[in-house]
Amino acid sequence: MADLPENIQKTLERYHNPPNKLRSIQEITARYNLALENYKQLCFMSGDVREQKVAKHAEIKALGWVLGKPDKDVVNDIAANSNRMIFPGQIPR
C-alpha cells in the first residue's frame, strides 16, 4: 500500500475505520448533556453569539430527536439552560 497516492491511501484508511460509526445511547445522552452545558455558557456570554446559539439549539434538537425525546421535553431542557425567562404560556404542548 506504500506505492499508492496519499489521497487514495487516506480514503482506504477511512473506509476501513469510518469516523462516523453508530453511537450508543450513553454516548448520545452524554453529548446531549454536553450540548446543553455549552448552550448555557453561550447564553451568558456577551457579544454577538446568535449564530452559535442557533447552531447549538439545532444540535440539541437533533440529539433529542435521536434519543426519542418529545419536542416539549427538549424545549424545556433548553429553557432550563437558558438565561431567558420562560412563562407557562410559551411552553409548547
Average pLDDT (40-47) is 86
Long-range contacts for 23-31 (Cβ within 8 Å, ≥24 apart)?
A: 25/67, 28/63, 28/66, 28/67, 29/67, 31/63
Per the rule left: phi > 0, alpha: psi between -120 and 50, beta: everything else, 84 is beta
Q: Kind and range of the H or E element at 22? A: none
Average pLDDT (68-73) is 92
**Statement: residue 90 has pLDDT above 70:** no
List the grid coordinates of 45.
456570554
What pLDDT does 3 receive?
A: 65
- The proportion of the chain whose per-residue pLDDT surpasses 90, expressed as a percent, equals 38
Average pLDDT (9-33) is 79
What pLDDT does 9 receive?
A: 77
Whole-angstrom Cα distance, residue 20 to residue 67?
17
The domains of the chain are located at: 24-90
